[in-house]
Structure 1
């Protein structure tokens, strides 16, 4: 959703507080909040049944002390939203899934995603298990607004945070997931979790950065069909991005969309607050880094989804306009443009 905290991802409260204090009065925001009566973040947007459905995190003031693991992002449930159009009224369908209804869950429902197949809607979610380890679960419903019923166990082989599911034109579906720092991805090695592992990244500055994960989903969308693989991001010379390259390396918040036959892997750089893109010829990668396509929003975290609606492209994202608090965010939407060369045009979310 990182320094060392996480978005439902993560963030550094002190730097965010200073930033919001400095920018609130003199900034003009590119887009208004979509909903103002609850705090929302990490919006995953989809077209279901002729409407735009948004599956965001539900930020609350839980009173949980801030720390570098992002414990103050102590979300307890998901509200599901819908709109008839990007300028239409937002309908809040209420709670679609609560942490208390997930048999294996401990705490912290972070950024979710959704998919539709086989006449069923699937809600994918990260939550810490009862041992405080992030896993990814799945819940199902016959209605895109829920309520969703969670499977009794996490997905076998899943770990970390930020699931994003992409269904290709051939019908195959893939899940991209993972986040470093509070997302715990750096604590996994050869399928084992180290509770005493690094709080940040690999610590190996001149080696390839820890990568996001990708796995093909089974036909029933409830498990992985095959091994979990690394999402390889390379530069123009085919070399993997390094740990020290904080402006470009993957941090969290993966998303996938397809445009003109190419696969666009987009993600957050976390502590440098950019959204970046990398393009490949396969949904499994490798992906060649293209550049930044959204500059920092107000607040520490940045998390997005990209959706085509009636031939036009949009990005759904969040900032902290309503609260000026890094853990109480609000979702927004604005147009997204693909340039003639295939890259994504730079978006400035606010003008100072």
Structure 2
């Protein structure tokens, strides 16, 4: 996961930076949402009709780490407990999901199997980030967990500890009570954030530990005892766009590393927006490399973060990941999903086929006047800066405290006085209204940051005149942010609609602009007809 506390409204100066540049390492834990209890809740038997596995909003689950034990597939997961509009990772504990047959939909959920401060005496409460359970050669289970050291003067106090248990569900005890096995102090000094551990037991019995975030991934060999480090710490390179969440596996003699990547841009095979991550992967002929980037396993999902875990179970490979698709879900209220992962063995090394996420059946669509979902959005500042995402304009989502990719935005150091955003349809549509939801971090009239527009108006493409023409608005154009500003107008039939936005400012200095949602309204409600993802783009207007 992306490790930061994005609390409150995001300032426009921060919005202009890549995610890794604005997200300082966490140095202290947030207070847990609820006090930890000594006794874990009883296991729950669930029948799951599809992804996400935990979907009702009672428990959110994140950072999945699958493994096979006792003839069952298990998934270790963290627990998100942030309130709906809190932009922070409130994660006090780990939990487990297990099934004998993923296709059956029958799962057992073990809540609260471990909490950092209850497993490691040297750890602080909270921040139960992405860990991994590995069945050891001695029949026991080893839990590699990133936690915060409570008595450390390190610049970044995240460290990796190891716990051991006789069962996947615990009870867990510290296998190295002297302290962490990886930190900014041990086994050698480093200056990275030491989280996201992943472990491989190779066919020759050697054990390798990988970890890292913020574009840095490291590796080291472990002793056969699964606990103590051996040899020197190595830096892993060659994984294009690596941001965090490494996951190591080996298949048919080749080593594979899956990871959350955020190489962003309009031509990226990973993600158009830097705050969103894809799951990329690379391969290597040996545990330490050299590593070669191979492509994308999973495109960005509904959560900004992404975290892979892959495992073979009863002859079938699976990819575990998380999304924001559960009831009440969000970027800090994520839920684990599981889909089949397939290989292309016609090439060497074998290629991982791109995974297409599956979803449980949702509620039936309801009629709406909004036809924006069938359009392709455009903007005067295309390609849109990578911290924003133009696709947010017609995704149907508005939030009180959004992240940058949940809006279209224009902020830059020298903002122009005017911008526009537009929709283009494949065929003409009849419209008689529109609604815009503005976002701001500066008041109206400001010449810095992101402010509401000083004014705006709507134009439609007049095919006969081959030009843009203003709609005949039936009321004022409101500019208040944080709610929809609706304008009704005399009906027009057109293939393109645009909103022209005048930036606020003084003299030659202007604020940026941001819009969370842009709805285009037809005279009558009808069932929505979203545009197919692989449909060719319509011809632009103008």
Per the shorter chain, which TM-score range?
0.7 to 0.9
Give the alignment of 1:231-250 within 5 angstroms: 231-233=236-238, 248-250=240-242
Give the Cα–Cα distance (whole angstroms) in 2 for the partners of residues 335 and 328 of structure 1. Answer: 24
Task: Indicate which of 244, 257, 264 corresponds to 2:249.
Answer: 257
Give the Cα–Cα distance (whole angstroms) in 1 for the partners of residues 7 and 353 of structure 2. Answer: 26
Shift of 1:274: 1.1
Alignment-derived partner of residue 348 in structure 1? 356
The structure with higher relative contact order (CA 8 Å, sep 6+) is: 1
Q: Deviations over 1:226-256 (max 9, x none)?
A: 111111216xxxxxxxxxxxxx321101011
Alignment-derived partner of residue 85 in structure 1? 101
Give the Cα–Cα distance (whole angstroms) in 1 for the partners of residues 291 and 229 of structure 2. Answer: 21
Question: Contact 1:31–1:334 at 8 Å: present in 2 too?
Answer: no
Alignment-derived partner of residue 134 in structure 2? 115
- 1:297 to 2:301 alignment: yes
Give the Cα–Cα distance (whole angstroms) in 1 for the partners of residues 84 and 8 of structure 2. Answer: 17
TM-score, normalised via structure 1 length: 0.75
CA RMSD of aligned residues (A): 2.7
Alignment-derived partner of residue 46 in structure 1? 67
Give the Cα–Cα distance (whole angstroms) in 1 for the partners of residues 332 and 135 of structure 2. Answer: 30
Alignment-derived partner of residue 140 in structure 1? 164
Give the alignment of 1:320-339 within 5 angstroms: 320-322=324-326, 323-339=328-344
Equivalences, count? 287
Give the alignment of 1:120-269 within 5 angstroms: 120-130=140-150, 131=152, 133-150=157-174, 151-152=176-177, 153-156=179-182, 157=186, 160-180=194-214, 210-233=215-238, 248-269=240-261
Shift of 1:94: 3.0
Q: After the TM superposition, which of the residue ranges 267-276 and 303-312 deviates more from structure 2? A: 267-276
- 1:310 to 2:284 alignment: no
Task: Indicate which of 35, 54, 62 corresponds to 1:35.
Answer: 54
Unaligned runs of 5+ in 2: 11-48, 188-192, 263-273, 359-531, 534-542
Look up the SS of the partner of 2:94 in the other structure. Answer: strand
Look up the SS of the partner of 1:251 in the other structure. Answer: strand
Larger-Rg structure? 2
Shift of 1:142: 0.4
Give the Cα–Cα distance (whole angstroms) in 2 for the partners of residues 137 and 160 of structure 1. Answer: 10
Look up the SS of the partner of 2:311 in the other structure. Answer: strand
- 1:97 to 2:114 alignment: yes
Give the Cα–Cα distance (whole angstroms) in 2 for the partners of residues 348 and 51 of structure 1. Answer: 24
Q: After the TM superposition, which of the residue ranges 342-351 and 130-139 deviates more from structure 2? A: 342-351
Q: Flag the 1:31–1:281 CA change in 2: closer, same or farther, 3 A.
A: farther
Q: Flag the 1:268–1:348 CA change in 2: closer, same or farther, 3 A.
A: same
Q: Flag the 1:38–1:65 CA change in 2: closer, same or farther, 3 A.
A: closer
Give the Cα–Cα distance (whole angstroms) in 1 for the partners of residues 322 and 98 of structure 2. Answer: 16
Q: Flag the 1:11–1:61 CA change in 2: closer, same or farther, 3 A.
A: closer
Q: Deviations over 1:269-310 (max 9, x none)?
A: 143411111111001111111111210010100001111112
Give the Cα–Cα distance (whole angstroms) in 2 for the partners of residues 329 and 212 of structure 1. Answer: 24
Unaligned runs of 5+ in 1: 15-29, 67-71, 181-209, 235-247
Give the Cα–Cα distance (whole angstroms) in 2 for the partners of residues 313 and 11 of structure 1. Answer: 38
TM-score, normalised via structure 2 length: 0.50
